[in-house]
Amino acid sequence: MKRLLLALVAMSLPITATSPALAHTAVRETSITDNATLSAAPTNFTVTFSAATGLANVALTNAAGREIALDYAPPRAMAASFTIPLPTLTPGAYMISWRTMSHDGHVMPGAVHFTVAG
């Protein structure tokens, strides 16, 4: 009986050990697919998460790694989706990156790389 109890406890450890990781908010969808080549420059970027999260910051950089100014300030309220207006983009490669913070304090970075065709 004692061995059976130990076996049951041992079998449940992987399930309980992984459940906190499964609770973290994840990216559900982005309006621009990672590594996409777009025929026209996008006017905004939307990222949707599996649960409400706080958007700590967002940045847009070009192929040289130079930051391109965004006319956007992340809201103070948590939300499941954020739409960031983009400036007029010329043909070239870009990366939009962000950091979010979930209710449990977990910080999650993310990024999408894309190219605007010339």
Give the model confidence (pLDDT) of 1-36 as tens digits: 555 444 444 444 444 443 344 457 899 999 999 999
Question: Can you name the CATH fold of 25-116?
Answer: Immunoglobulin-like (2.60.40)
Residue 106 confidence class, pLDDT cut points 50, 70, 90:
confident
For residue 3, the SS3 value is helix
CA 58 → CA 4, 23, 93, 96, distances in Å? 52, 23, 17, 7
Domain range summary for the chain, segments of one domain joined by +:
25-116
Q: φ and ψ at 92, to 5 degrees? A: 155, -175
Q: Give pTM, 2 decimals.
A: 0.78
Instruction: Say which residue the tokens 């391109």 belong to.
Output: 68
